[in-house]
């Protein structure tokens, strides 16, 4: 489930790792399906133990830990993964533990935090990757591998960095329905199933409308709604759904689920118009929610 707002919240939670050295890397014993890790644990240990963390970035729906040799440690949570520095939901699905040194007095650390913030985070000493389903991945890329990936076209421009005209150009020439097309990361990176339904509802666009039949004003509404909803969700630190999987830490769920207008509300009155019930349909094997009154086809 983690989409751009949840992954951005994870990224921000890892900022106290900046300026620390990696002192150990371990895979806790688990009876569950192992995650895909490239390279394997032994080689990963050889490559990153002793390296310092200089930045934490987000690449679409991936958390990227930048190391001082220009390599990148990428966490891709996929359906049910969490990257955090606080207590995980449980120990049984903990997949990787990266232990860190006390924070060092580096320029990066001074740039990232005030002196009081550095002191406050001095006791935090681990990056944890937790994954209930085991579908996520951990990868170590060199600077050259990162450059090649960015040039490959696998990811389009970030949903919070793209401008309105580029956003429209990524979608307008396909005959596919707009809702599943918004999920294609090669067009625009970061939008997932949950937020696509919310974006189209706020835009007043039916999810089955063809991309190539949407007007320029409709695309402008979709673009504006994308930015507003993603930023609102980040402000509320993501959405924790009924399964309770996503959370900032064991006792800290996100808060944006309380602002959902259509997602997972099939059969309930529309919170926008109050005159229709929310409908659920299936598109490309994914659930889509919309109001037939607010989003006329």
Does residue 116 carry a pLDDT above 50? no
Residue 105: CB atoms within 10 Å: 9
* Predicted confidence (pLDDT) per residue in 168-211, tens digit: 999 999 999 999 999 999 999 999 999 999 999 999 999 999 99
Give Cα separations from 292 to 68, 144, 262, 269 (angstroms): 52, 48, 11, 11
**What architecture is domain 4-151?**
Alpha-Beta Barrel (3.20)
For range 7-19, the mean pLDDT: 96
What residues have CB less than 8 Å from 163, skipping those under 6 apart? none
Predicted TM-score (pTM) of this structure: 0.91
User: Residue 10 pLDDT more than 90?
Assistant: yes
What tens digit of pLDDT does each residue of 258-282 get?
999 999 999 999 999 999 999 999 9
176 is catalytic: no
Let me know if 64 is exposed, middle or buried by CB neighbors in 10 A (0-12, 13-18, 19+).
buried
Where are the chain's structural domains? 4-151, 164-290
Give residue 257's Cα distance to chain centre: 15
Domain over 164-290 is classified CATH 1.10.10.10: no
Indicate which residue of 12, 51, 220, 286 is catalytic: 286
User: Around Cβ 65, how many Cβ atoms within 10 Å?
Assistant: 25
Residue 88 annotated among the catalytic residues of the structure: no
Q: Which of 61, 72, 78, 247 is catalytic?
A: 61
Q: Examine the residue annotation and report whether 3 is marked as an active-site residue of this protein.
A: yes
Active-site hit among 3, 6, 8, 198: 3
Res. 252 pLDDT band, cuts 50 70 90: confident
Is 297 labeled as catalytic in the residue annotation? no
């Amino acid at each position: 489930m983690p989409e751009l707002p949840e992954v951005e919240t994870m990224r921000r939670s890892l900022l106290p790792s900046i300026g620390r050295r990696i002192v150990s890397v371990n895979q806790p014993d688990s009876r569950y399906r192992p995650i895909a890790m490239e390279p394997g644990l032994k080689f990963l240990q050889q490559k990153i133990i002793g390296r310092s963390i200089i930045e934490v970035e987000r690449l679409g729906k991936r958390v990227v830990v930048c190391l001082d040799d220009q390599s990148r440690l990428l966490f891709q949570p996929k359906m049910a993964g969490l990257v955090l520095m606080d207590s995980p939901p449980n120990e049984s699905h903990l997949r990787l533990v990266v232990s860190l040194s006390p924070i060092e007095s580096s320029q990066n650390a001074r740039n990232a935090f005030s002196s009081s913030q550095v002191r406050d985070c001095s006791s935090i000493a681990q990056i944890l990757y937790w994954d209930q389903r085991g579908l996520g991945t951990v990868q170590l890329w060199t600077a050259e591998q990162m450059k090649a990936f960015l040039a490959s076209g696998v990811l389009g421009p970030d949903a919070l960095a793209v401008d309105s005209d580029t956003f429209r150009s990524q979608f307008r020439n396909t005959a596919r329905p707009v809702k599943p097309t918004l999920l294609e990361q090669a067009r625009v990176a970061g939008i997932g199933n949950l937020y696509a339904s919310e974006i189209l509802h706020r835009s007043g666009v039916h999810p089955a409308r063809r991309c190539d039949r949407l007007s320029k004003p409709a695309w402008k509404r979709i673009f504006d709604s994308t930015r507003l909803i993603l930023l609102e969700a980040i402000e509320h630190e993501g959405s924790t759904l009924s399964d309770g999987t996503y959370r900032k830490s064991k006792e800290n769920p996100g808060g944006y689920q309380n602002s959902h207008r259509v997602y997972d509300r099939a059969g309930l009155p529309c919170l926008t118009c109050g005159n229709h019930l929310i409908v659920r349909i299936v598109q490309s094997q994914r659930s889509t929610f919309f109001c037939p009154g607010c989003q006329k086809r």
